[in-house]
Amino acid sequence: MKNHGPSFFQEGMRFMAHCPLCQTRYQPSFVKIIAEREDSYLVHVLCNKCHSAVVALVFANLFGVNSVGLLTDLASDEVLEAQQRTVGADDVLELYKICRDGSLTELVTA
């Protein structure tokens, strides 16, 4: 896919103009690009009113510019750290056991 440039990014950010919690309009100075590729951006957007954040993937495909976001309490540097961590087989088995046994308090305190 070809490079779409700054207009591609701006178009994608129009999808995320307001905070999903308090509906405050996002300020451009609170948008941080965490990672970018030719056809996508990973962004962290902080609400200056309620201090919630959204991590979103803004990408282009055959259907145009799209975004998928996730509400988070992570700071932008923490998102990078989480992105670099790998999930191993032991992690998956541990989560399975916690879900199977219904002991979600273990998961929260881990």
pLDDT in tens, 62-101: 877 888 888 998 888 888 777 777 888 998 898 888 888 8
On whether residue 67 sits in a domain, the answer given is yes
On whether residue 95 sits in a domain, the answer given is no
On whether residue 96 sits in a domain, the answer given is no
Handedness of CA 13, 47, 19, 56 (dihedral sign): positive
On whether residue 108 sits in a domain, the answer given is no
On whether residue 107 sits in a domain, the answer given is no
Q: Contact at 8 Å (CB) between 32 and 16?
A: no
pTM over 0.75: no
Structural domain boundaries, residue 21:
5-73
Q: Which tens digit of pLDDT belongs to each residue from 15-54? A: 568 888 899 998 888 889 898 888 888 899 999 999 999 9
Dist. CA 86–CA 34, nearest whole Å: 18
Q: What is the CA radius of gyration of the chain?
A: 17
On whether residue 12 sits in a domain, the answer given is yes
What phi and psi values does residue 69 have, to the nearest 5 degrees?
-120, 160
On whether residue 80 sits in a domain, the answer given is no
Total domains in the chain come to: 1
On whether residue 81 sits in a domain, the answer given is no
Alpha carbon separation from 110 to 24, 91, 94, 98, 105 (Å, rounded): 34, 12, 11, 11, 8
